[in-house]
Structure 1
Amino acid sequence: MGRVRRALTGPSAIAVLVVAVAGVGFGLYWFQPWKLWQDETVQEALPGAVSTPAPPASAPAPAPSDEPSGQSAPATGPHTWASGELISHEHATSGTVKLVRLADGSHVVRLENLDTSNGPDLRVWLTDAPVRRGRAGWHVFDDGKHVSLGRLKGNKGSQNYALPADVDPSDYRSVSIWCDRFDVSFGAAELTRA
């Protein structure tokens, strides 16, 4: 009995216990399994798409325009340059992706009605890779040219991700919800020019 008690409280037993606790802690940090049950919804409006309310009935009439009769100033609102539907890869994923040119000439990737799983270290990537269905499409997005547009703001909702000024959107053909920790796509969309 004394020998068993010494074995359970000896230095080697304590070392094994410390290694086991450290292994469990590392596994929890690395996989973050609780995120599978936590949803984060983010609803952002498209930049520059704010509608102008109609003037009240008592407002004065607008001043005459210097524009010649029959001509108006060009529309300066956002324009969808390309779009696509998200397909599922490692996790069930749905929604629409739009590459939008804003009035100031900048571009954003817009995720609309996104619905995917939460996970550790999810990013939004603009890539030059083709979108493939099934397991064949899980790992292709880091093989070629890609730009990380930042961390996924929420696994549900509609969100905007600005393209850096030096990125030419015509060099890219797809968007992936990319898990940087495990180098795998949760879902992706092939972009088709509008």
Structure 2
Amino acid sequence: MVRVVRKRWWTGVAVLVLAVVGAGLVWFKPWALWVDETVNEALPSASATPSSPSPSSRNPGEAPATVPPATPAGPTTEAQGTFISHEHTTTGTVKLVRLPDGSRVVRLENLDTSSGPDLRVWLTDAPVKEGRAGWHVFDDGTYVSLGKLKGNKGDQNYAVPAGVDLADLTSVSIWCDRFDVSFGAARLA
């Protein structure tokens, strides 16, 4: 009888240990630290701008069409910065780019960071601080999530939603939403 009780006790302990280890693996995803995903996107191209009709396509007596204001021929960089490391080593540059149609994208170039669970790209108003002091500040104030990180290496574009006021958003963070920590961040200047 004692042997049966001991056997059941050890079986229960073994099942509990396996459940805890399994839950820990699912939550922490430690294998992600050794899996790289490289994404190399080109900078979005200039969209076609409307052209005025040629003189031969106008009706006789019709006034010439007004020419729309000149727009840049290509994308222009409005701000940029270099990533510093926080929780994980992170290198590369970030640019805030205005496209000819007036929309904006955050462009990550030569990004190299660790892969991790639930990584996001955030535009924030937080100051970029070196060391552990900068790991947890990005969710303290205003931030705009631009979406999940597409890959932990390479060149990537993230659309800035229309209507976002960029006046006070001065930094970009690679944010781990699961553990509320910055992998790396860059100040936009």
Using structure 1 for the length normalisation, give the TM-score: 0.82
CA distance in structure 2 between the partners assigned to 1:46 and 1:124 by the alignment: 17
Q: Root-mean-square deviation (CA), in Å? A: 1.7
- Residue of structure 1 aligned with 2:137, choices 137, 140, 154: 140
Give the secondary structure class of the aligned counterpart of 2:31: helix
- Residue of structure 1 aligned with 2:125, choices 123, 128, 134: 128
Which residue matches 1:183?
A: 180
CA distance in structure 1 between the partners assigned to 2:26 and 2:163 by the alignment: 35
- What is the CA deviation profile of residues 27-47 of structure 1, one whole-angstrom value per residue up to 9, with x for unaligned ones? 001110001110000000000
Which residue matches 1:173?
A: 170
Checking the alignment, whether the CA contact within 8 Å between 2:46 and 2:73 is kept in structure 1 is no
CA distance in structure 2 between the partners assigned to 1:20 and 1:49 by the alignment: 56
Paired amino acid for 2:133? A
How far the C-alpha of 1:173 sits from its partner, in A, is 0.2
Give the secondary structure class of the aligned counterpart of 1:181: coil
Q: Which runs of 5+ in 2 are unaligned?
A: 48-53, 56-69
- Residue of structure 1 aligned with 2:4, choices 3, 6, 12: 6
Q: Percent identity?
A: 69
CA distance in structure 2 between the partners assigned to 1:15 and 1:100 by the alignment: 58
Paired amino acid for 2:169? Y
Aligned length: 169
1:163 correspondence with 2:163: no
- What is the CA deviation profile of residues 163-189 of structure 1, one whole-angstrom value per residue up to 9, with x for unaligned ones? 111212222000000000000000000
Q: Which runs of 5+ in 1 are unaligned?
A: 51-64, 67-72
Paired amino acid for 1:9? K
Paired amino acid for 1:97? V
Which residue matches 1:80?
A: 77
How far the C-alpha of 1:74 sits from its partner, in A, is 4.7
Which residue matches 2:18?
A: 21
Matches within 5 A, 1:27-176: 27-48=24-45, 74-176=71-173
Give the secondary structure class of the aligned counterpart of 1:157: strand
CA distance in structure 1 between the partners assigned to 2:184 and 2:71 by the alignment: 37
